[in-house]
Amino acid sequence: MRPPSSPAFSDNLLTRLAGAGRVAVLTGAGISAESGVPTFRGDEGIWKKFRPEELANVNAFMRNPELVWEWYKHRKTLMATVQPNPGHAALAAMESHHAQVTVITQNIDDLHRRAGSHNVLELHGNINRNYCIACGTSVSNEDILRQEAAPRCPACRGLVRPDVVWFGELLPVDIWDESVRAAERAEVFFAIGTSAVVHPAASLPGIAKKAGAYLVEVNIEDTELSWHADEVLIGKAGDILPRLLNSYVSLSH
Ligand code: BV8
Ligand code: ZN
């Protein structure tokens, strides 16, 4: 575990950010950790109790919808109680200092949008949305949380599922394409709070770097991505991002 990075940031990073027109960010569970949302691989990681195969995949759902719904209802209830943290807020504030800030998130917790980010690409869906697998009708969280077992569609009584991307499922094509475009056009690309293990999301930082972006990782520890990054800022996203924003914004005035 590297010591937290010094409070100062490199001149290289600050000047690049001060002059960047287009910034893109890939976020993972780590940016929501300080909001109280458990990460996947942390000690309290959800995947400690359950393995992803058991829960976040369509076969598990068809085999045991009640178990999978138990997990998602628990997460929906939790997500309803959490707030965006200073890390989310800093990314939203960045929008007024660049022509384009694109937040590409693996998180389904809606916290970037609630923090005020306008350009959010949700690669893996959103915990607040659900739909009927038989007729496609969208079903509200209120409707879901009111029903005991696996919720049924109000229109056709078909089985309802969360509108999230499970393992083995394709990401929404238009959102994926837009994410790749944002990565290819970014002058600075951040990878924040992600273990960079799940594909194809984990390929975005490499795509950005190959296209010429300056790649910055923000994490509490090294990841599979760290060797590839131009800068690795070790520390909590909620500490680093507001300080980084203040540092380069004062530069560009
Ligand atoms: C697809 C939604 C194919 C649901 C999620 C072998 C090799 C390569 C790939 C594969 C393979 N076998 C299978 C695959 C494909 C598979 C995959 O990548 N598997 C992995 C496990 C190897 N991918 C898929 O199946 C994808 N679909 O490939 O389709 C296809 C192709 C053609 C035709 C049909 C199909 C779909 C993947 C999406 C799965 N859905 N989520 C839900 O959330 O319930 S994944 C879910 O887990 C998240 O969305 C996220 O993507 C991932 C968790 O990762 P992180 O977000 O990074 O979180 P993690 O806990 O791991 O890390 C947290 C990090 O934060 C840590 O680094 C920690 O240090 C840091 N941190 C903690 N606190 C802080 C912090 N950092 C800063 N500040 C802090 N305070
Ligand atoms: Zn239906």
pLDDT one digit per residue (tens) for the chain, 253 residues: 555 555 689 999 999 999 999 999 999 999 999 999 988 876 665 555 667 667 899 999 999 999 899 889 989 999 999 999 999 999 999 999 999 999 999 999 999 999 999 999 999 999 999 999 999 999 999 999 999 889 999 999 999 999 999 999 999 999 999 999 999 999 999 999 999 999 999 999 999 999 999 999 999 999 999 999 999 999 999 999 999 999 999 886 6
Distance in angstroms (rounded) separating the CA atoms of residues 187 and 230: 12
5 inside domain: no
Residue 45 in tokens: 């990681």
Residue 113 shares a structural domain with residue 62 = no
222 inside domain: yes
Ligand 1 lining (C-beta closer than 6 Å): 28-30, 33-34, 39-42, 45, 56, 106, 108, 124, 164-170, 193-195, 197-201, 218-221, 223, 236-237
135 inside domain: yes
Q: How many domains does the chain have?
A: 2
**Chosen domain end from 164, 185, 220:** 164
**Chosen domain end from 112, 141, 164:** 164
Residue 147: closest CA among 76, 77, 78, 73: 73
What is the CA angle 196-202-207, rounded to 5?
A: 130
CA of 82 to the centre of ligand 1 (A): 21
Domain residue limits at 159? 45-80+130-164
* Cα–Cα separations (whole angstroms), residue 43 to 38, 39, 63, 245: 9, 8, 28, 30
Residue 227 shares a structural domain with residue 189 = yes
Largest Cα–Cα distance of the chain, in whole Å? 60
Residue 67: closest CA among 172, 149, 4, 178: 149
Considering the entire predicted model, what is its pTM? 0.95
Residue 197 shares a structural domain with residue 112 = yes
Residue 97 shares a structural domain with residue 222 = yes
CA of residue 207 relative to chain centroid, distance: 17
98 inside domain: yes
CA of 200 to the centre of ligand 1 (A): 9
Examine the residue annotation and report whether 199 is marked as an active-site residue of this protein. no
